[in-house]
Structure 1
Amino acid sequence: MTRVFSFVTVIGVAVLLAACSPAPRDVTQDDINMLARQIRNLSPEVDPAEADRAAFIAYTYSLQLAEEYNVTDNPIIHNAKVNNGWRARGLCVHWAEDIEKRLNAEGFQTLEMHRAIAEGSELRIDHSTAIISARGDTMNDGVVLDPWRTGGLLYWSRTLDDQRYFWEPQQLVLERKYQAKLERKGGPAPD
């Protein structure tokens, strides 16, 4: 009986540790090619070379940020480290800011970056991300670029296909939160 208990305990600890581990950091050319294809398919106006470059940067820069942020745990544990001052950066908002800034630095002519927030609920905290779209399209027509979700390995999907989050434009969410804060303090926002 003690052996069974010991075995179950060891397996339980191993599963727990695996669940708290950061994402594997293996990116293949096929991964990059699939994202590039998705970006190219956003519009016939998208320059294929820009789509290829954006996909390559999104994947490789996500891995670089994971190193710079010293990500050694899953995203929630890493957030706790940032919030307690044990790490300087690595909250979802940092990932979104840095990916957006890096891709904007490319000066793409046929692609455009957006910022989005999925508001929290009783079970979730707010989550920020960057979204890439064809120039002139909305964020809902784009592709979510979310390396925070897996601790550095890029997650991506069409915005409206993301089963985990309902994305809204960052500015809209921030304005709504500001209004709610003012109302809690006893009055509407000044005109």
Structure 2
Amino acid sequence: MSTRRKFILGAGAALFLAGCGGEPKGPVTAQDVARLEAALLALGPGVDPAEAARAARLAYATADELRREYDVTDAPLVHNAKVNMGMKERGLCYHWARDIQTRMTHARFATLQFNRLVANAENPFLLEHSTAVVMARGAPWQSGIILDPWRTGGVLHWDHVRADTKYNWKLRADVPIRPRGAGVVSTRAGQ
């Protein structure tokens, strides 16, 4: 297929998808950060209050930094189309998940830990989605909170894993993936 035809098809898909995906929320408020701080503190009696406060601020700040780094100006699925067409370098959900997990982990929290989750990886009819998760150190990931700014175009969306019924989350390391363009299943080492 010619490059021009790929561009036309991709642009058409981007226009079609323009109404899909979450729209960015308004500016982050002190109340937004305080709600996440309270939710993090409620993850368990061993969560340090100072760490919950720092993690809440860092999660919102990281989402905003990544939004600027990825140059997100569109709804999530439109931005995805631009990344897949080579018009943008990063900003797919797994980029967000990996980068948030990495930055939060490097902040060295003693009472919180971070990992990544994936949904729909084994269903060829649904779009795969990745997110970061935070939980009390040593607690199961199912008791954690997802950190998912991809959904809202770069403003942090968070929810308790069990309350996020939009996705059937699984620990990323436990789910085999299908490489792009192949029917063969491999391990999830690269994402």
Q: Which has the larger radius of gyration?
A: 1
Count of residue correspondences: 166
* 1:99 paired residue number: 100
Q: Deviations over 1:71-97 (max 9, x none)?
A: 111000000000111000000000001
- Secondary structure of the structure 2 residue equivalent to 1:181: coil
Deviation at residue 138 of structure 1 after TM alignment: 1.3
For 2:153, give the aligned amino acid.
G
Q: Please, which moves more after superposition, 84-93 or 21-30?
A: 21-30
1:25-174 alignment, distance < 5 Å: 25-119=26-120, 121=123, 124-174=126-176
Question: If the length of structure 1 is used for normalisation, what is the TM-score?
Answer: 0.80
Q: Paired residue for 1:181, among 178, 181, 184?
A: 184
Partner of 2:8: none
* Letter in structure 2 aligned against 1:124: L
Q: How many Å apart are 1:19 and its aligned residue?
A: 6.5
Q: Is the 8 A contact 2:20 2:77 kept in 1?
A: no
Contact 2:18 2:75 in 1 (8 A): no
SS at match of 1:104: helix
Aligned partners of 1:177 and 1:53: how far apart in 2? 37
Q: Output the amino acid matched with 1:181.
A: V
Matching residue's letter, 1:160: R
The one-letter amino acid of 2:133's match is: I
Give 1:86's aligned amino acid: M
Instruction: Structure 2: state its 5+ residue gaps.
Output: 1-16, 187-191
2:11 aligned residue: none
Long gaps (5+) in structure 1:
1-15, 184-191
Identify the structure with the greater helix proportion: 1
Q: Percent identity?
A: 42
With the length of structure 2 as denominator, give the TM-score of the two structures: 0.80
Q: Given that residues 96 and 129 in structure 1 are in contact (C-alpha distance below 8 angstroms), is that contact kept between their aligned partners in structure 2?
A: yes
Aligned-CA RMSD value: 2.3
